[in-house]
Each structure stands twice: as structure tokens, then as C-alpha cells.
Structure 1
Amino acid sequence: MGSNEVAKAINWQTDVLDIRIVLDENSAPCLDSIHPRGKPCPEFASPYFTTASVPLDAIRAAGQGQGLYKTAKSLVGSVLSARLRYTRHVEHESDVSKALDIVCYDEETGLEVTHRFEVFKATSVLRSWTTVKNTSGRTQTLNQVSSLAIGGVTAGTEDWYNGYTLLTANNTWFRELQWQERSLPDVGIDEIGLHALRQGHKATMASFSLSNRGAMTTETHIPMGALKRKDDDHTWLWQIESGGSWRWEIGDWQDGLYLVAGGPTLVDHAWQLDLAPGTSFTSPPVAVCRTDGGVENAFAAMNEYRRCIVRPNSDHEGLPIIFNDYMNCLMGDPNEDKIKALLKPAVQCGAEYYVIDAGWYADEVDVDWWDDVGEWEPSSTRFPSGFKTLIDEIRNAGLLPGVWLEPEVIGVRSVAARELPDAAFFQEKGRRVEERRRYQLDFTHPAVRERMHRIVAGLVQKYGILYFKFDYNIDVLTGSDAHEGLSTGAAHFEHQRAYITWIEELFSRHPGLVVENCASGGQRMEYGMLATHTLQSTSDQQDPFLYAAVAAAAPTAVLPQQSASWAYPQRAWSDEKNAFTVVNSLMGRVHLSGRLDALTSQQLELVKEGMQVYCSIRKQLVKAKPFWPLGLPAWRDDWVSLGMLTEDGIVLLAVWRRSGATSMRISLQGKGRLGRVKVLYPATFETRVKFSDDVLEIDLPDTPCARLLQLEV
């Protein structure tokens, strides 16, 4: 390829995207551009470069080091990646998607690499992953296999280092989904004049990356990122669907930025895989979109894509109200009398499921059951009339029964810990890995999967359980070292994949089952898990005023029909505070809780009103597009707002006032021809609203409060 021309290119068109793959000077394929169909491909601003030329597959193998660019800590620049030669490409099409395979080969190692791109019809998101097959006669050891590598994401922007901002989402226990926006220089990436030397330099050593190691896949950060033009001309947004450890990275390459993303690596996660002759490894999917406009358009596009990959479940059609007796309610200490007292008020409020949370298996009422879990048999002490009798009573009240369970752990005091062989647990140097007085089960072991299938089947068949809340509350950073030929990082990743396969098997064995994903709230809130699980717990946050920032940000990472946020009213709280906690749950899935049996009749009516409003709007949420008229919520913002634009042009708008001024102007420009505004909930509370010229003016009382509004033509 000459310096000013592309010798060969693959131009692949989908319904809404134009995707271009070019071959660099060594015939290595490079994903050169993704842009809306019909729009001209952005040109490079620099006179020195005419293509991105980041090799499509960022792969590392043992003994195959770094090339001339970047450092060994970076995801890009390996000599193996540069050596992969294009051999062929194949297009595929189904009723729901189009796909493109790019096949490459490395003569030195005998590795054949197939890169799969997939686009679901009418969506603007590209899904990408890589399969590496060893066609040689000897074992090849992999240290890294990326799922996406693209250069030129800032093509067409001369001052790219000043023209874009980077968005990332912090995600910690009680404080989930908190997005931050920073400039590229602030994260260490800038233009330093290297390319002007014209000495073959393609990149500096600078890069910025986020990664996560361990079983809590979203502890610290969500596996997402966004690059936004400051003028909102366009936005890049990506998510890794790992179900295990992951890393993404941006950095400079030639005269702009690259993006690389994928699953575990040797450098970050002790992942190393011996690939025997004839065997293969497939990386986890990564989804990326480039949309016109700001981040709202990108989040809307990503949600449309998520709807395509989620396992179909009838739960997503009706969005039933779930009462769960944990949060600010029984708090892991249920018994027969407490649950019976909650049934009638739960039904009065409109609940359709009753989920018995933690503690239902613990006979020792006054002793901490934390390190004794694992048998998952109902307690006879807590339920003297029999667990089956209680479940029947839940059903007779008109509620569908569910239970909480932690399928991946066994407490060190549990009888079950002595019934399974050591190979069924994570091990280190011949000892079971113990974390917070619990052992981690290894789902690659058939005895583990078979045992948990028996436990779930027993609860389904004997008691009629239809809903499982699967929780996870320890974090084991590395896998078992007892697997021959697997590094600890590879063993951990295989366990995570085996666990998700087990979840898929549950749905096949028990059609209609609902399985909630939870890990200390939202510490596994990503689509490696959520493509299979029915819904997601967003947080363990117990303060409703703080929860507003989590609930308002939920649609950035989770579909409304999957994101469950708590509403937990209390007798001691004011009517405004109880309405506040209800509003927290109304724009996604309702996790109703709190001591409903202790509420006054007036308080109960307030909760019931909120649930009736939810029932009137929930089907509209299934395909609604989220937006944030006051910007993405920050943890301590005085005012927070989340909007949903429905398919029929109605705007549902949640507004939370936590402190500060009692009035706010909220622009709804571009949301359609809106005219009428109505307070949906709480309908009779003091609220002054005025809407004109696409601006909503709202005045609220001088106390923390929240409202749900509806605007339509």
C-alpha cells in the first residue's frame, strides 16, 4: 500500500452502518471506520497519514513480543498482530442480523484467526469478537485475544486531543453507575509532536485503560466507555460483554485515537491459555456504536442493541411488580409470621411476586448464618408450619413465590462443604480458597453443576418456586490452580463461562423461570451476565435520597425492563420521603420492599397509588428511549432527572429535588411536539408546573421530594 492510497479494502454495509476494513502495508486487516450509512467516511486531518492501520486483532502469544510502537503493557502493537495476513472474508445473513467474518493466518505459529462482526438489523451497534484456532502441530500459548480493535476514531478532527472528552462509569457498592467526563489530556493522552518527526513513529507510549479482575465483574467500574465530541457532533460508545475479567484501552495511533477492548489478559488477569493443536478459543463479545449527536443518542442506540441480545422472557412483556422482603424490611431474618404479615399489604399495593430473600434456610435464628450456607434447605425453625404451607399461602394470596440463593458459594461451617471433593472448589497450592469464611465453587466441575441443578429443581418441583434471586457477595480474584494446562486467570474465566452456561440450562429445564442477577447489588451489572439473566438488581443502597442518582443513571447500562430499583417505604418517614422512594423505582423494574405491614392506611394508599401509576406506564418502558435533560446524574446533584421517550411520542419524566433551589427549568427540546403536562405521581402533592417553548418550569416544596410527570401532544 502506498503512502497516499489504500491498496485493498472491504466495504461492508448493513441497514444503518457503513464499515470499512483496509489492509495495511503488510496485508494485515485493519478496522478503519464505522459510520452511519450514506454519510461520507471521515478523512484524516493530518497530511502524514491516510488510514488508521491498527491491526484488527490485538493478539499476544508466548515469546511473541512487542513491535516498534507502544509498550508491552499496552493492548496494541504486538508483532503477532502485525504478522497476521488476510486470507478471506465471508458474509452471513439471518432473519435478524448480518455478519462478516475476516479470516487471517500467521505462518510462524500456525494460528488462524477469525474475526466476527455482527449487526442486528435496524441497529447502529457493531458486535465484535475473535476466534483463534491452532492449526499447527504443537501447542501455542496465548497471552491476550482482543475482541475489538479500531483506529481512527477521531478521524476528521485536526485537534483531536482537545476535541473529545472521555466518559467512564464508577461502580462501587452503594454508589453504582456514576459517570465522569474528562478531557483526553486529563487522562494522559495528548498530541506531543511525535508524528511530525516523520521517522516511522506511529504512536507514543501513552494510553488510558480500565479493567476489572475477579468474579465481581463491575466492581469499581462498568465495562463501558464513551468518547464524545465536545460539540456533540458524534459519540462513540462501547460495552464489553465478558461475564468475567475484562479490559479496554484508548491511546494515540498515527494522528488520532484507537480503541481496543476484550476479555482477560496475562498482564492484567494472569490469563494464559495453552492452545493444543486443533483447538480454539473465542473471546467475549464487545459492542460499539458511533452515533450522530451526544451521549443520549448513543445510550439509546445501545439499548436498542441490548434488546436484540437479551434472552427472550415473558417477564419482559408484563414487567410484574416484585415484592422482596430484604431491603429496609426483614434484612435476612424472615420467619413464618413476618412473611404472613406482609402478604396482604403487598397484594394491596399491587405486587405480583413475593420473593423471600436471605435467611430462609437458616435454622439458627440467633446465630449468623453467613458461613453456614450451602445446603439450601428450608428452615423448620423459621417455618414451623412447613415451608410448603407458607409457599401455598403466598400463592393463595395471589402472589408468585420466589427465593434468594447464592449458588456459587458454600460456607466453611456447612455440611455441604464436606460432601463435595476438593476439585469442586477453587484451590490454591492444594488448599481450598477461602474468602470471608466461604468457599468458592468451581462450575467447570460437573458435580457442582449437577448438585445445583438438583437443588433448583427441588425448589421448583416441591415448592413451586418460579423466581430466583441469585446473589454473590464475595470476590475471588483468581481461579483455581488445580486445572492442568490452565493458568489461574484462564481457570477463572472458564468458571464464569460455565456458570453462565448453567444459567442457560436452568431456563431450558424450567421454562418460564425468572432469574435475577445480583452481586452485592450491582457488582455484576454487565451484559455478559444480563444477556442471559432476566433482570438486574441495581444497588443495595438503603438511603432513598442517595438512591436517586443510581436509579436515574440505570438506563445507561441496563434496559428499563431489566433494571430493578428499590422502593422501601417506612412508617417513620414523611409522605414526601415515602413518595421519593417510590419514584426511584418507577422508570425501570419495581423492587418493592419496606415494612408495608407497619404503614398507616394513608401511607399504604400512597404506595398503592405509585404502583397503579407504574402499571399504567410499564409496557411503554419496554421500548422507550432514555434521556437526561439535566445531564447524567452526579452523586451529590441537587436536582436529578430521567426522561423516557415512548414509541407513541409521550415523555415520562422523573424529577428528584434533593436540596438547593426549589425551582428548576428543564429543557425538552427535540423530544417532539409536546404540549400538555400532567403530574402522574404523587398526583395530589404540592407541585407547580408550566410548559412552554419546550421548557418545563417546575416548583417543588423546600424538602427532598420527587415527582413523575407525563408530557404529550
Structure 2
Amino acid sequence: MTLADGAFTWRLPDLHLSFAHGDRPVRLTGLSTGPDAPSALAPQEIVDLFTAAEMRARSSQAYVWSHVGARLRYVDHTAGDTELVVRQRDARTGLEVASRFRSAGPGLQISHTVRNTSDADVVLTAVTSAQFAVPLGDLDLLWGEGEWLGEGRWHQRPLTEYLPDLNLEFHGQSARGHFALTSVGAWSSGTVLPTGVLANPEGPSAAWQIETSAGWHWEVSQRRDAVIVSVLGPTDLEHQFAERLAPGAEFTSVPAGLVVADGGRDAAIGALTGYRRAIRRLRPADAALPVVYNDFMNTLMGDPTTEKLLPIIEAAADAGAEYFCIDAGWFAGKDDGWWSGTGEWREGEGRFTGGLISVIDAIHGTGMRAGLWLEPEVLRASAPLAQTLPDEAFFCRFGERVIESGAHQLDFRHPAARAHLDATVDRLIADYGVSFFKLDYNINPGAGTDVDAAAPGGGLLAHTRAYRDWLLAVQARHPEVLFESCSSGAMRMDYGLLSAAHLQSTSDQQDFRLYPPIAAAAPLSVVPEQAGNWAYPAEGMSPEETAFAMVAGIMGRLYLSGFLHRLDEQQTGLVHEAVALHQDWRQRIAASRPSWPLGLPGWNDDVIALVLDAGDRSLLAVWSRGEAAEVALPQLRGSALDQVYPARLAAWKVRTDDGVPVIEAPAGPAARVFEVTPA
């Protein structure tokens, strides 16, 4: 509804947005969970955009107060049941911005399309995907770090540790600094994570994510009365990004997700979990949430052969696995390392007695479906195919093909690159009956490509968009096939890809004692039913260590590995019990919301806990990695705790102190899963 004073509102069942404009850019003046709920946000312009010619109208290190953004003026808006589009225009440059707010579950997906209506080229260097302000208050900032083998290391600290009190009111100005996180190259979560939270335990909290596998940047900065959050895709300063808009041309920013919720950190992440589910491209093939066995981690490590695989296949089927994925190496010669054969995707010579089809027939003979590992964006520089594809099918810089770790990066904008992978996937499905692909990505080729791009960061963004489109098109042709997203573990764990893929490997970490903080933190980045947490029991583990290794898998999307046929009878029973419990709970896990009753998991914490709240019942996992400890859980006050895994090992003692459950955890490594029933 448009009002006479230049204000309008957009009301959804669970969200209420208010805007204002007049003789200034459009501002989002309020966002609440209902018409009677308090706004979680303070007024703030909805978009800033920067060009090669014009940056900020006021000096700052933050992406705020841009010249072009300050000149935008309201044109019109259209509101539907699920989408609001607000149109503004800068008369000087002729840039027109259509801002889209799309409802998705309890949140909003926001993007902006910039169109050049002038008769001259304009070069964009940055566009905010989402921009909003949070009132000053008792706020904590949550942000995360990522690294190979050490994914999901989250921090929660008072915002004042990052944005100090500068007495801005005395100076009559807003601050010029910021706290910022920025991705590096093509691993979108390889150093820091594209998600953030401003948590207020006494009022509304906000959480956001940036949805791209290319460059991204988010930051918090401060003005006198509020904290500004700016969320962007690639930028000129951070990612060598530029987009030249010819007259009539358009550029759309990468999407960003935004949720608000009352109740602090866990409520905000719970709302973000619901939003993530709403933006996923769900397919019937994944509805059953099948358990996948993969032969890589702590097992064959890229050296599969018929003799090695057959006993594992039988043991995986006995354990309850429903898919069996042959990981890296199936395409390499018997005496070659797996990395040497990437890119051609032909069966390795001499590796399988009776050929690869005989192994896949063995998988199918157990009732499981078969999967294969691929790294679709990578082609070894020494591969014959690399000499036949044109240079334009690869990432190039300054006229030379980029080589990283001995490999070229394919550019999925080019039809020859897509045709190669289309033919590969179609052939493997037709010839071998493959029903699952693990799509890995083990290189980071730098800023991007300058082929058909104004700057490398723009080339990388265009490639990642083309790669996502390719993945969706493959699924449309083969709706019965599942696709996993992997990238040296979780180095590219973003909802640009995860909205299209079925599951995400959460790490390459092979030390079972180090996996609990990764598994417990995974729901901050990915919905639990997509969090492929590895469970790799090993010969020689004690029963307690075996159960410890299995608990991570139970609390996400169980991703089974290990030499299962070498386990003793007690270990085998613990594995079978864990798989059965996960299968019993997986549909409820897919509707659950995560919470952390002991706080966010620290990398070196002795005790780690994760709750997956499914409403009338919840699952609680507790890992002990240090000395014996008493674990009080005030968040679960009044609830009953019943140990559901492992049933064949001793139950941990649970008592109640003034209504608060207290678990007496032994020295580790030891872990248990409890079913929680609210009072």
C-alpha cells in the first residue's frame, strides 16, 4: 500500500516490511515478524552501487554512502504475494535499479538488477546485495572461519570488540571504519564464511548469508544510531571485479538471504535454517535422504580396485547403506595416482577385474545404487583433451591459460566445456547406471578469468553462475540422480551451490577426534539434512571410539566410510545401530532446527553439544574429548533425556538439578546421543 507521504508497506504472513522515500533514496524503515511485533531494523537505504567513475559521497572504508546510491530516486514498486520489486533511477548516470525482495520461508532473498538507460557505457565496480541497519544495543556478532580440515570455526563476541565506541554523537558524524570478511578466489568458504549474525538476547536478532560461489564480502559499520550491515558479491577492491554495462545492458547482484527472529543466536540460526530449506531446488530423488557409503576417507584414498571394493560393498550394504560411491581413482591407470587422470573421465586401465561395470553390478546386486566421483571443472594440463579444447574454454589471464596444481580450470560459459561434461555425465549414467555423483573441486585458480570479462572477478562470477545452471540442467535431464557438492571438504559451502545440490561434504578431516566441532558447527552453514558428516569407524578402535566416530553422522546426513568388513562384532553392531537410528530420525532431522546448549563449539573444547529440535522430540549429541565432566544444560530445563545411542554401551548418568538436566560425561573420547522430550 502506498501512502501520501512517500511510505509504503509489504505485508506477508510472517514478515512485515515498511519503506519510505520522498526526496531521497528508498529506505527499508522496518522489518518485523508481524504487524504488532517490534522492528528488528533501523531505517537504511536498500542499495548502494559503485562505478569506476564514482565511489563514495563521503569518505569511508565501508560500502555505504555511494554517490550513485545517494542520487537514486523512487520510480515505482510492484507487490505480489511472494515478491516485491522497487524501482529507482539515478538521473545523472541513467542507471536504474530494480530491487527484488522475495519471500522464502521465514526470510527474504534480496537482489538488485542494475540497468543502463543512458547512451554511454557505465562500469560497475560493486553493488550491495543486501543493506540494512540494526539499532544499537546489546549485540553479539557471530562470524566463522573455514580451512581445509578445520571447517566451521565460529566466533561469538560482543560487537563492541569489533566496532569500538568512538563517541560518534560528540563528533556529529558516522564512523569510517568497518569489520569485514572477504572471500579469496574460487573457494567461497575457504578462509571465512558467507554467513553472519547480529544476536540480541533481549530483542530481535538478524542473520544473513551471501549466495555465490564467486567472490563475496560482508561487513558491519557504524553510524551514530545504528549498525549498518552491507552484504556484497564480488567487488573491485577485494576481487578485481568490474562489469561494463553498454546502453540497455543489465547486471544482477548475487542473491543475499536475510532473516530476523526474537530469541538471540539460536532463534536467528533457526530462522536461517528455514529460509535455506525454502530456497532449495528439491527433487524427489533426494526425498528419502539415503545413506551414502563413500570409499575414500580413511579407506581406499583414491586407489579403488575390484579386490579392495568387493568386501567393502558387502559390508556397506549389511550396515544399511543405500548408495555406494566409488571415489577418486576409478579413472586412473592401476599404477597411476588418482590426480593424474582427472578430466578425461574414462575407466582406468587395468584397475578393475572384469571392468568397472562388474564392480557396479556388484553394488547393484546388494540393492544399493552406485555413485562415482567427478571433478567437473578441472582438466589436467597434460591431458590430451586439454590440447583439443579452445583456450576460451578455460580460465585465462593476460592471454595465458591458468594452471593451478598442474590443472586447468574449465569455464562453463563456453559451450565446449559444458558439452564435455554433459557427454561425460550422460555416458556414465547410460553405460554404468550411475545414480549418484560426488562433484569435487580441489583447486583455487585465483581471481578468475579475463576472457569475455571486464575484469577477472566478473569472469569468475559468470562462470559460477554458468556452472550452477549446468548442474540444474543435468538434474532436469536426470531427475533420478543425486549430486553432492564437495570442495576439498567444505571449501565452497555456499547456497549459490547448495540451493541446487543435494548434500555437502562437511570436511576432509580424517582424525575422528577432531570431527565433533566440525559436525556440531555445520548447521550454522548448511541445513542438517545436507550436512554430509563422515562416520569412519576403523579396525582397532575401542567400542567407545567407534561410537564416538559414528555420532557425527547421526547428527546430519550420515556419510559412511571405513573398512567396515575388518571391524569386530561389537564394532559392527555399533555401526549398524548408528545407521538404523539415523534412518529412523532422518525425516525429523530434515524438519529440525539446530541449537547449541553449551555455546558454539570451540575447536579445542573438551565437551561439545548439538541439539536438533524436531518439535515434540529432539536429538541431543554430547561429545567428551577431555577429562570427566558434569555437563549442565539449562537450555533444556524441564526436559527428559533418554540415551538412544549407543544402546549396547553403558548409559551415561543423567540427573536433574532444580529442573536442569546434568549429564555425567566420562573422560573422552566418548559420545552419546539422547532423545529429548520437553516437559
TM-score by length of 1: 0.92
* Cα distance in 2, alignment partners of residues 389 and 340 from structure 1: 10
| Equivalent in 98, 101, 105 of residue 117 of structure 1 | 101
The match for 2:647 among 673, 683, 691 is: 683
List aligned pairs for 1:50-129, cutoff 5 A.
52=43, 54-68=44-58, 70-71=59-60, 73-93=61-81, 98-120=82-104, 123-129=105-111
1: CA distance between counterparts of 2:659 and 2:126?
A: 50
SS at match of 2:360: helix
How far has the Cα of 1:165 moved from its partner? Answer: 1.8
Of 171, 189, 197, the match for 1:218: 189
8 Å CA contact 1:687–1:698 kept in 2: the answer is no
Alignment size in residue pairs:
675
Q: Which of 505, 508, 511 is the equivalent residue of 1:537?
A: 505
Cα distance in structure 2, aligned partners of 1:684 and 1:308: 39
Q: How much has 1:182 moved relative to structure 2? A: 2.3
The letter of the residue matching 1:179 is W
**Which consecutive unaligned segments of at least 5 residues does structure 2 have?**
none
**Over residues 14-36 of structure 1, what are the superposed CA-to-partner deviations in whole Å (9 max), with x where a residue is unaligned?**
11122121226x32111222122
1:27 maps to 2:24:
yes
For residues 694 and 396 of structure 1, the distance between their equivalents in structure 2, rounded to whole angstroms, comes to 52
Map 1:629-668 onto structure 2 (within 5 A): 629-647=597-615, 649-668=616-635
Query: 1 CA distance for matches of 2:261 and 2:670?
Result: 35
Read off the aligned partner of 2:57 and give its amino acid letter. Answer: G
**Matched AA of 1:353:** Y
- CA change 1:304–1:42 in 2 (3 A) is closer
Q: Does 1:311 align with 2:293?
A: no
Which residue number in structure 2 is paired with residue 10 of structure 1? 8
Say if 1:372 and 1:412, in contact at 8 Å, map to a contact too. Answer: no
Distance in structure 2 (CA, Å) of the matches to 1:167 and 1:370: 37
- Secondary structure of residue in 2 paired with 1:561: helix
Query: What residue identity is the alignment partner of 1:34?
Result: L
| Superposition pairs of residues 294-333 of structure 1, within 5 angstroms | 294-333=264-303
Q: Does the alignment pair 1:227 with 2:198?
A: yes
What is aligned with 2:33? 36
Question: Partner residue of 1:265?
Answer: 235
Measured after TM superposition, the shift of residue 65 of structure 1 is 2.8
Give the deviation of 1:349 after TM superposition: 0.6
Asked if structure 1 preserves the Cα contact closer than 8 Å seen for 2:259 and 2:275, the reply is no
From 439, 445, 451, the counterpart of 2:414: 445
Change (3 A) 1:144 1:634: same
Which residue, out of 658, 661, 669, partners 1:704?
A: 669
Deviation at 1:40, TM superposition (A): 5.3
Q: Does 1:422 align with 2:410?
A: no
Q: 1:646 offset after TM fit, Å?
A: 1.2
| Distance apart, 1:287 and its partner CA | 0.9
Q: Give the drift of 1:99.
A: 1.3
SS at match of 1:318: coil
Summarize deviations over 1:648-692 as a string: whole Å, max 9, x none.
x1121111111133332222447xx634x3211111312233354
- Please report the RMSD computed on the Cα atoms of aligned residues, expressed in angstroms: 1.9
Structure 1 residues 284, 301: closer, same or farther in 2, change over 3 A? same
Deviation string for 1:53-102 (max 9, x for gaps)?
A: x432110112113212x42x421111100001111111012xxxx21111
**2:594 corresponds to which residue?**
626
Deviation per residue, 1:607-627 (Å, 9 max, x gap): 111111112111111101211
Distance 1:12 1:253 in 2: 26
The structure 2 residue matched to 1:516, chosen from 475, 484, 491, is 484
Q: What pairs with 1:138-157 in structure 2 (closer than 5 Å)?
A: 138-151=120-133, 153-154=134-135, 157=136
Q: Aligned partners of 2:260, 2:447: CA distance in 1, in Å?
A: 34
Contact map agreement 1:345 1:604 (CA 8 A) in 2? no
CA deviations over 1:494-539 (Å, ceiling 9, x no partner): 0111111100111011111100000000111110110001110000
What is the CA-CA distance between 1:462 and the residue it aligns to? 0.7
How far apart, CA to CA, are the structure 2 residues paired with 1:694 and 1:359?
A: 54
Displacement of 1:110 after TM fit?
1.1
CA distance in 1, matches of 2:549, 2:202: 34
Q: Distance in 1 between matches of 2:146 and 2:70?
A: 35
Gaps of 5+ in 1: 1-5, 45-50
Within 1, Cα distance between the matches of 2:144 and 2:404? Answer: 27
2-structure distance, mates of 1:707, 1:194: 50
Name the stretch that deviates more: 175-184 or 400-409.
Answer: 175-184
Q: Secondary structure at the match of 1:475?
A: coil
Structure 1: how far apart are the matches of 2:363 and 2:676? 38
SS at match of 2:554: coil
User: 1:282 offset after TM fit, Å?
Assistant: 0.7
Query: 1:101 is paired with a residue of what secondary structure?
Result: strand
Q: Provide, for residues 164-203 of structure 1, a one-character-per-residue CA deviation record: whole Å limited to 9, x for no partner.
A: 121101111111111102233322x2332333344xx3x1
Question: Percent same amino acid at aligned positions?
Answer: 36
Pair 1:184 & 2:159 matched: yes
TM-score (normalised: structure 2): 0.96
Indicate the larger mover: 599-608 or 283-292: 599-608
Name the CA shift for 1:425/1:600 in 2 (closer, same or farther; >3 Å). same
Number of the residue aligned with 1:613: 581
**Structure 1 residue 134 corresponds to structure 2 residue 116:** yes
Query: Do 2:208 and 2:258's aligned partners in 1 also have CA atoms closer than 8 Å?
Result: yes
What's the offset of the Cα at 1:43? 10
Question: Structure 1 stretches (4+) deviating beyond 6 angstroms?
Answer: none
Q: Which position in structure 2 is the counterpart of 1:47?
A: none
Shift of 1:390: 1.6
Q: Which amino acid aligns with 1:37?
A: G
SS at match of 2:529: coil
